[in-house]
Amino acid sequence: MPRLALSLFLFLLCSMVLPSISSAQDQGMATGALTSDRSHTGGAQTLEDILARQRGLAIDDSFRAGNTGNPEGAAALNAQLGTLGGVSDPELWRALRYGSADMRASAGGETAAVLVQDGGMRWLDFRAGPLRQYGGGLLLATLGVLALFFLLRGRIMIDGEKSGQTVTRFKAIERFGHWLLAGSFIVLGVTGILTLFGRVMIAPYLGKSTNAWLLVWGKWLHNSVAWAFILGLVMIFAMWVVHNVPNRSDLVWLRQFGGIIGKAHPPAKKFNAGQKMIFWSVVLFGSSISLTGISLLFPFEMPLFAASFDALNATGLPQMLGYGALPVELAPQEEMQLAQAWHAILAFVLMAIILAHIYIGSLGMEGAYDAMGSGEVDEAWARQHHSIWLEELKTPPQGETKAQTPAE
């Protein structure tokens, strides 16, 4: 199941990111690739190719990717017009660029053998462009929607008076796990945003030294606090997964929009459908963010994407959707670039979800914060928002009466 989930996430990545940051080697596979008659340039690229590339169109690069010389065809050294080899400098650079050069490095493994990786520029463009724009836009839009919702709906209050009686909603260990996860996620989110936006949002206004200081400490915090996040994720999964299995009451809750829109109080168990969606988003997105994060923490030692693409190709899904077979031979640097891109995309999505979670758990609903603050909630609140759970809590388990009777 986790492998399938990871594969699905990675497939989404392919559809969103890969076309924009894949390496030159992959460009020839793009659909709708431009083909030109290059006879008048002797097979070299034409003005049409250059203009098309400037317009951002996919170019079939196979005409030059394979144009890397042929040592076998060179005249022998001792022959008339004999040469020192059958490969010119441009052909050698093409071979380096398209990954077909027979490169060997005395140290550093295959990572060091990659001298040119022009996919890096696409990744950089993606990181500096769409990732910042859409990621930042998503967070701002989420804040805007929440502010608008607050203005329109106001705070969701407890109907009637508080009962004055409280029930334990979350035990101390549950609250500890929640705050371990929440605290680390906020630190990770802030430092991640600083890392992505520092160059454009901080350096121009507060200076490069301030930005550098923030980046150095932000990086340390991000890399170190990540382990607390992973531990928190494991804790909440172990403690709450059993309460987050979907059931029929979720359909009722969803049909009534959870009472968030309108005045209804649909019945719910310990977690309602909205909380279950947040739980599974945190678990699945958080796991994927953690995996790619670990891959980035130990560079080049834990490549994830080639194997995942291979597994996806085997399902036939990318081909069925017209993406063709996904690349399964990725340069080590390309693995890192994809890991960073995926890590950041999912982090933005999760941050947007968590902003909504923070809103409804604090400002948006009276009494909700108590559940994670003191762990005690008013019975009136519990009855309105988690009526099935409250009933189960107040009904002694079957057989308890018998168990209290001494067996003689």
- The SS3 of residue 406 is coil
Q: Which of 172, 242, 320, 407 binds other proteins (CB under 8 A)?
A: 172
State in angstroms the smallest separation of the CB of 176 from other proteins.
5
For the chain, give the longest Cα–Cα distance.
Answer: 112
> Between residues 149 and 300, which has the closer beta carbon with respect to other proteins?
300
State in angstroms the smallest separation of the CB of 192 from other proteins.
15
- The SS3 of residue 34 is strand
Q: Which stretch binds other proteins (CB under 8 A): 47-55, 153-161, 370-378, 391-399?
A: 370-378
Vertex 29 angle, CA 321 and 72, to 5°: 150
Q: Binding to other proteins by residue 187, rule CB under 8 A?
A: yes
Q: Which of 177, 198, 274, 318 binds other proteins (CB under 8 A)?
A: 177
E strands, 343-402, in order: 376-378
Assess contact for 31 and 58: CB atoms under 8 A. Answer: yes
Nearest to 226 by CA among 166, 181, 276: 181
State in angstroms the smallest separation of the CB of 375 from other proteins.
7
Q: Binding to other proteins by residue 166, rule CB under 8 A?
A: no
Vertex 263 angle, CA 262 and 266, to 5°: 100
Indicate the residue type of 136: G
Assess contact for 167 and 379: CB atoms under 8 A. Answer: yes
> Between residues 267 and 373, which has the closer beta carbon with respect to other proteins?
373
Q: Which stretch binds other proteins (CB under 8 A): 30-38, 46-54, 202-210, 216-224?
A: 216-224
Q: Which of 277, 373, 379, 388 binds other proteins (CB under 8 A)?
A: 373
Q: Which of 92, 228, 254, 353 binds other proteins (CB under 8 A)?
A: 228
CA dihedral (358, 363, 364, 367) in degrees, to 10, reads: 100
Backbone angles phi, psi at 403, to 5 degrees: -65, -30
DSSP per-residue codes, 224-290 = HHHHHHHHHHHHHHHHHGGGGS--HHHHHHHHTGGGTSSS------SS-HHHHHHHHHHHHHHHHHH
Residue 107 corresponds to which tokens in the numbers above? Answer: 């140290």
Backbone angles phi, psi at 54, to 5 degrees: -65, -30
> Between residues 15 and 224, which has the closer beta carbon with respect to other proteins?
224
Q: Which of 74, 96, 231, 349 binds other proteins (CB under 8 A)?
A: 231
> Between residues 229 and 309, which has the closer beta carbon with respect to other proteins?
229
State in angstroms the smallest separation of the CB of 363 from other proteins.
17
Assess contact for 236 and 282: CB atoms under 8 A. Answer: yes
Q: Binding to other proteins by residue 195, rule CB under 8 A?
A: no
Q: Binding to other proteins by residue 297, rule CB under 8 A?
A: yes
State in angstroms the smallest separation of the CB of 41 from other proteins.
41
What is the rounded distance in angstroms from the CA atom of residue 34 to the CA atom of residue 31? 9
Q: Binding to other proteins by residue 372, rule CB under 8 A?
A: yes
Q: How many residues bind other proteins (CB under 8 A)?
A: 37
Q: Which of 183, 249, 328, 358 binds other proteins (CB under 8 A)?
A: 183
Q: Which of 16, 221, 317, 325 binds other proteins (CB under 8 A)?
A: 221
What is the rounded distance in angstroms from the CA atom of residue 66 to the CA atom of residue 99? 10
> Between residues 208 and 219, which has the closer beta carbon with respect to other proteins?
219
Distance of CA 308 to the CA centre of its chain: 15
What is the rounded distance in angstroms from the CA atom of residue 196 to the CA atom of residue 135? 10
Q: Binding to other proteins by residue 104, rule CB under 8 A?
A: no
Site string (374-403) toward other proteins, x via CB under 8 A: xx----------------------------
Q: Binding to other proteins by residue 120, rule CB under 8 A?
A: no
| Residue numbers at the binding site for other proteins (CB under 8 A) | 107-109, 111-112, 172-173, 175-184, 187, 219-221, 223-228, 231-232, 297-300, 372-375
